[in-house]
Structure 1
């Protein structure tokens, strides 16, 4: 099995490419540390929504719906306000329609390559971003921290190891998500109507007109019950929905099956993600985003127990880490 890691280009952008047998992947350190593609080259499968040459300018301007963007802090914060540990921080209001801050700072920032290489069983790359008073986001969230992402390719697919370290001397919030964009269809020439998705969702959070949780739940529709059970078409209707995560059989995951090809893509995200966001671009066939998220949307302003809503914090010197895997069965 050919295994290698090398520097190259992805549509004109600096990339680190990984190969392992039939799989290949590429990371764009300069654009949010985004893992922009994951492919099965033998079968022609493209599992992630890629911008391609024609979409690169839009992707650079708004890198949120291609590959695996890192959101920190993720999703929406009312009026840009972020109360934490007795202080209120003010994030820029960057979603005019809702008057909220959306998606944080890391998915648009430049990351650096710490290491890449290949061994007998896998190829890998580690990218990192260090935030301190020199970083542009420090003016909004004045915390010192390092986020590292290690991606590896092997016969077992793509693994992702994420760590956040508090480099500072004060307690810091640790709120994070991935806006993972999955192709449906991922099989060449396939039809989105042949696809069924399952996800380990629990309750659906009620969201108000500003897309912020009220603290209440909404009853699941028949399709949403199928989503956590036997599966449903990912484009059954428009989805911009927020759910609790309830692991099944010890795992927190999304499974997408091409029923015609008999191929299932598994996205096993780990149990630290307490929430799922699922967005399907107004039920537009082609791709959708099953987003594993540590925290409830707007968590710092929601009066519910911190553990229940994933309002995690890190003391000075502490780490938070989680591992995920994308693979085919």
Structure 2
């Protein structure tokens, strides 16, 4: 059996420092300086572009709104009421950056610079590892005064794109371990296909009821007929405007999204691992082109919820503890 031709190298992506990964027919691009964002994942033989990339001339838009391109890291993810984050007897104050809801949105790592620790290749795969080490010198420390390391490794092989996420508490206080990925998936991802050719399936459970400020009330809403299709045989990704929050319920042991181009019979699988207890799904007001299936550890605004911590993914790490999870994007 022929070995995969794997290669990793530094370059630029529209002027931004980048690490390129190649393996067989696949190519990926990481932008460490803008949130450790894996901005591109392509099948170069078929011309498939699985992630929304900034087009030529869109880099400034990407830098001003990096949450809707590639795979942005959200820490802590989603919305926090009035920018307040109660934790272990303290209340931390985040900037209110969503004026319409008076909430804080999406945390501090998707816009921060990450450090490249290593990149390279083996006979089977190429890889890159980046880290964000938060301490007194890091911009996020003024809001989350904890010392911790988030390390992100992407590997590219014949089996697609693997993502390994590692969080370690480097300090002497218990820290919140709340993370999501605002993954922006193209629909269509194939040239010559249209969004109408696509169906998405997601391992959702219950839908959370949201207040007008997009904060969960603690109650569930019944799933619509289309949402039952979303967790069953699949549904057109833009059937309605979606900014919806669900519990995650594994199917056949896996927590995943499947996006199928029915014209081509090609399915993109996003298997995120079972530590992610929630899903968000956002489709930009039902605008065809891309949508975001977002694996999320925690319920939105979780520190202010009275529900059991394990149920809502309100995870913590004691001093010296490590949390990790692995996800994969691949084509079948």
The question of 1:114 aligning with 2:106 is answered no
**What TM-score does the superposition give when structure 1 sets the normalisation length?**
1.00
Q: Deviations over 1:256-294 (max 9, x none)?
A: 000001100000000000000000000000000000000
CA distance in 2, matches of 1:202, 1:11: 40
**What TM-score does the superposition give when structure 2 sets the normalisation length?**
0.99
Determine the structure 1 residue equivalent to 2:225.
222
Moved over 6 A (4+): none
CA distance in 2, matches of 1:134, 1:57: 26
The question of 1:187 aligning with 2:190 is answered yes
CA distance in 1, matches of 2:221, 2:274: 23
Selected match of 2:15 from 3, 12, 16: 12
Determine the structure 2 residue equivalent to 1:80.
83
SS where residue 198 of structure 1 aligns?
strand
Does the aligned pair in 1 maintain the 2:5–2:123 contact within 8 Å? no
CA distance in 1, matches of 2:225, 2:57: 38
1:52 deviation in Å?
A: 1.7
Determine the structure 2 residue equivalent to 1:311.
314
Determine the structure 1 residue equivalent to 2:136.
133
Which runs of 5 or more structure 2 residues have no equivalent in the other structure? none
The count of aligned residue pairs is 329
CA distance in 2, matches of 1:8, 1:311: 38
SS where residue 28 of structure 2 aligns?
strand
The question of 1:281 aligning with 2:284 is answered yes
1:137 deviation in Å?
A: 1.2
Determine the structure 1 residue equivalent to 2:268.
265
**RMSD across aligned C-alpha pairs, in angstroms?**
0.5
1:54 deviation in Å?
A: 2.3
Determine the structure 2 residue equivalent to 1:206.
209
Please show how residues 90-169 of structure 1 align to structure 2 within 5 Å: 90-169=93-172
1:189 deviation in Å?
A: 1.8
SS where residue 143 of structure 1 aligns?
coil
Which runs of 5 or more structure 1 residues have no equivalent in the other structure? none
